Amino acid sequence: MSQLKILIIDDEPDLLDALSQLLEMKSFTVFATTECNQALQACKEQKFDVVLSHWFDHRQNIEDTLKAIRHQLPDSKQIVMTGSLNLDSQIESQYSVIYKPFTVEDLVIHIEKLFFGKETLS
């Protein structure tokens, strides 16, 4: 598997740090931030293969941020992490969704299926 660059946006710093470390241990290159503006700036400076975001709507408008990222990086794959089973069907049609709780292996498989169209883990 080639090394994918992943942008993670999450408003929970502890979860963000843990997820970043776990994905780096799985050989992904990770840029992580709690700030939507910082995520947008990072997308201007580098290309990300995958954008992984917690679906949160307080403090910052994540939907607007993801739309802007899609405009800047139209080839990137976007995954929304959520604990809510009541996502708007329009959101589910626009983004790949992974529901919490999940393991890092679940997430890696989700990324590989989305990016490569198949699971590459044994």
Cα gap 91→109, rounded to integer Å: 21
Give the Å distances, CA to CA, from 75 to 9, 17, 51, 87. 18, 26, 11, 24
Residue 72 counted as domain residue: yes
Cα gap 109→35, rounded to integer Å: 26
Per-residue model confidence (pLDDT) at position 58: 57
Q: Which two tokens stand for residue 114?
A: 């989305």
Residue 37 counted as domain residue: yes
- Quick one: CA dihedral 19, 110, 51, 3, positive or negative? positive
| pLDDT tens-digit map of 16-63 | 999 999 999 999 999 999 999 999 999 999 999 999 999 875 545 888
Q: Are 36 and 66 in contact (CB under 8 A)?
A: no
Residue 61 counted as domain residue: yes
Per DSSP, 118 falls in state S
Per-residue model confidence (pLDDT) at position 91: 72
Cα gap 96→117, rounded to integer Å: 13
Cα gap 43→71, rounded to integer Å: 10
Residue 28 counted as domain residue: yes
Number of structural domains in the chain: 1
Residue holding tokens 């931030």? 33
CATH assignment of the domain containing 63? 3.40.50.2300
**Which of the residue ranges 2-6, 19-23, 39-43, 67-71 would you say has the lowest mean pLDDT?**
2-6
Residue 53 counted as domain residue: yes
- Owning domain of residue 46: 5-116
Residue 121 counted as domain residue: no
- Global pTM reads 0.89
Residue 122 counted as domain residue: no
